[in-house]
Amino acid sequence: MTVLECNHTVGRSIQVSAGEVELFSYVYRPTDVQLESPRPYVHPIRTLGGDLVTVFRPHDHVWHKGLVWSLPHFGHDNFWGGPTFSREHGYRQLENNGSMDHRRVVSLEADEKSVRFQHELAWHTQSGDEVVTEDRTLTATLTPDGWALIFETTMANVSGDVVQIGSPTTAGRENAGYGGLFWRGPRAFTGGTILAPQGAGGDELRGQRAPWMGFTGRQDETGRGSTVLLADATTNPRHPPQWFVRSEDFAAVCPAPFFSEELPFTPETPLTFRYAVLIADDLSTNTRATALAIQAQSLLP
């Protein structure tokens, strides 16, 4: 019987394993430079069979780190990393790279079937102002066809002002609405298949609305297939979201609630988002993707 085990590197990260396979590491206190907008990330992520399905600091975008909650246009601040896009200047490096800083562990609970980690964070601008307090929970659980990571966040605006959360598209770049929970796959997945309720495809699915999307691709060396599928909770703002997905240049999947329209974030009303990320061995057809989506959505009652 497959069981989950958890190891806590106190003050740094947790690792969750199934047998001999480390399924993932969640680094909640990173050591990244300011330009990369330091924030917690999940990497490496592996299937139950041990195949890697994330990449860390790829040379084309060193601020991409496995699976990570990232917001490139948080008012005037960048909690994504790297340069910021504007209509006037295109992409330009500014002194606006904020950080999502771990404050304290709330709880760590583990048994043979699941691991639940909850912690509090404070978001700071590059100049040091605190603008958000966040309560974040990650829960790992086994599923009939693999395992899943449930990501939950509740953010409170403590800046004193209304903050407009957007994307490069809301700033003027067409069809570049990334921002939110962002998964970047390994280089071997380049040219792989994007999965969606509309049917499997490629970059033409970018910007479309759906309750879930995913990716299936082959591993280097072994040639084995792997699948990653993300489901959006029905209670999330703007459900079903538009999705930022890529396959041609690199593998990426991101439910993007701020894709084409800014979301006002007021000090009075916290924002809560919940997602299920299902990780499975083998390539997936449309039929299998639909079945995996049902499993993922069942974790978001």
Instruction: Say whether pTM exceeds 0.95.
Output: yes
Mean pLDDT score, 143-163: 98
CA angle in degrees (0–180, nearest 5) for 135-157-117 = 5
At 113, is the pLDDT very low, low, confident or very high (cuts 50, 70, 90)? very high
**Residue 289 amino acid letter:** A
Q: Who's near 284: CB < 8 A, 6+ residues apart? A: 195, 214, 216, 225, 227, 229, 292
Whether 179 contacts 165, CB under 8 Å = yes
Mean pLDDT score, 259-267: 98
The C-alpha atoms of residue 145 and residue 72 are separated, in whole angstroms, by: 34
Look at residue 301 in the predicted model and tell me its pLDDT.
81
pLDDT digits (tens, 9 = 90+) for 205-247: 999 999 999 999 999 999 999 999 999 999 999 999 999 999 9
The domains located in the chain, with CATH, are 4-297 (2.70.98)
Let me know if 31 is exposed, middle or buried by CB neighbors in 10 A (0-12, 13-18, 19+).
Answer: exposed
Kindly state the tokens that stand for 104: 């304290």
Q: Residue 56 forms beta bridges with which residues? A: 65
The C-alpha atoms of residue 211 and residue 257 are separated, in whole angstroms, by: 12
> Considering the chain, what is the average pLDDT of its residues?
98
CA-based nearest residue to 38, from 113, 97, 110, 106: 97
